[in-house]
Amino acid sequence: MQMPIRIDPTRALADIATFQRKLAAGMANLRHMREPEYANTPRELVYSEDKLKVWHFTGHGKATAKTPLLIVYALVNTVWMTDLQADRSMVRNLLEQGEDVYLIDWGYPDGADRWLTLDDYINGYLDRCVDAVRARHDLDAINLLGICQGGAFSLCYTALHPDKVKNLITMVTPVDFHTPDNMLSHWCRRMDVDLFVDTMGNIPAGLMNYVYLTLKPLRLNQQKYIGMVDILDNPAELENFLRMERWIFDSPDQAGEAFRQFIKDFYQGNKLVKGTLEIGGKPVDLGLITQPVLNIFAEQDHLVPPDASRALGKHVGTTDYTQLAFKGGHIGIYVSGRAQREVPPAIHQWLRQRD
């Protein structure tokens, strides 16, 4: 049998030397690199409450869309993934398409927010944000774009307040939490969530990040940084890398009660698709969502498996349901080159046909 490993020792040593040389040469770049900024697309504050802010992106020209689009992001991680850097900004691309874009920035919860429930978030904060945007445009209903957990929130909100949502877009949104490939759901199935939240209070962002890293421990904790060595001599690429690192690890803690409910009802109980979910004592029936729905998911998503998102089609009540599969991962769907070309134009086209 042929030897599958034929590594020339001289070459191996040369590889090590090269690795070290790159490290040494790139060290200065790494040391002196400042905290990379996000895209910071021009925006104005239009509503705030507690730690929450609603931003209106002003863009360069006047929006052509008649109905504004409110982006509802997840509570985990910050909202700036949607406006990461100038050439990788979903927000900026949506503005260029002519959309009138608003964004909810949930802020960083602390001990004072420990008792915020899903009812407070969905029927409280989110509802008041929607009302603020409706009032600015004097409209009955606006468009919602929910991302990941924010998508699940948007689904609940639309089912509970159908009069206030004209069109609903969900991106990488988990709907069926019990698909066999959902590692996060699998892991938390035997967790005593009450004990967990009673003990931890708010859930620290560092702990959440730890769990995310252990989904793919070698790729995310080691291989990624080995790859970084190859770009240490390229300040622009290094800055992009560090900006992404900033976004990944500059995460908010999770309000304890909301976390408890989300894990219990969504991850463990899978109540959204079972039709047994209640938010603030009111039943959430996806069948009541009769407005047009665009469901976008990522085919290589390791956090929200595609099947978890695809399930929406079976449960939503609308007859105007569109599904868009994106060739990429959970993060790539916002920031990859392909995403910039495909996702915002697809959203705009779909909305324009229903504006």
Name the residues annotated as catalytic.
Answer: 148
Determine the distance from the C-alpha atom of residue 5 to the mean position of all C-alpha atoms in its chain, rounded to a whole number: 42
CB of 154 to another protein, least distance (A): 19
What residue type is 7 in one-letter code? I
User: 47 is written with which tokens?
Assistant: 């509503």
* Binders in 104-133 for another protein, by CB under 8 A: 111-112, 114-116, 120, 124
Instruction: Tell me the number of residues near another protein by CB under 8 A.
Output: 82
Of the candidates 196, 338, 179, 342, the one whose C-alpha atom is nearest the C-alpha of residue 266 is: 179
Q: Name, in order, each residue with C-beta under 8 angstroms of 112's C-beta and a sequence gap of 6 or more.
A: none
Of the candidates 104, 85, 83, the one whose C-alpha atom is nearest the C-alpha of residue 95 is: 83
* Binders in 215-234 for another protein, by CB under 8 A: 215-219, 221-226, 228-229
Specify the residue, 216 or 274, whose C-beta has the smaller distance to another protein: 216
Burial 23-32 (b: 16+ CB within 10 A, else e): eeebeeeeee
E strand or H helix at 229: helix 224-229
Residue 192 contacts another protein per CB under 8 A: yes
Residue 12 contacts another protein per CB under 8 A: yes
C-alpha to C-alpha distance for 127 and 133, rounded to whole angstroms: 10
What residue type is 33 in one-letter code? M
Residue 269 contacts another protein per CB under 8 A: no
Binding-site member from 196, 321, 345, 346 for another protein (CB under 8 A): 196
Residue 35 contacts another protein per CB under 8 A: yes
* Binders in 132-171 for another protein, by CB under 8 A: 138-140, 163-164
C-alpha to C-alpha distance for 125 and 103, rounded to whole angstroms: 13
Specify the residue, 17 or 325, whose C-beta has the smaller distance to another protein: 17
CB of 3 to another protein, least distance (A): 5
Specify the residue, 13 or 45, whose C-beta has the smaller distance to another protein: 13
C-alpha to C-alpha distance for 119 and 281, rounded to whole angstroms: 8
Specify the residue, 23 or 325, whose C-beta has the smaller distance to another protein: 23
Specify the residue, 210 or 353, whose C-beta has the smaller distance to another protein: 210
Helix (H, G, I), strand (E, B) or coil at 211: helix
Segment contacting another protein by CB under 8 A, of 93-101, 203-211, 286-294, 333-341? 203-211
* Binders in 14-33 for another protein, by CB under 8 A: 15-17, 19-20, 23-24, 27, 30-33
CB of 278 to another protein, least distance (A): 16
Residue 321 contacts another protein per CB under 8 A: no
C-alpha to C-alpha distance for 251 and 245, rounded to whole angstroms: 11
Residue 213 contacts another protein per CB under 8 A: yes
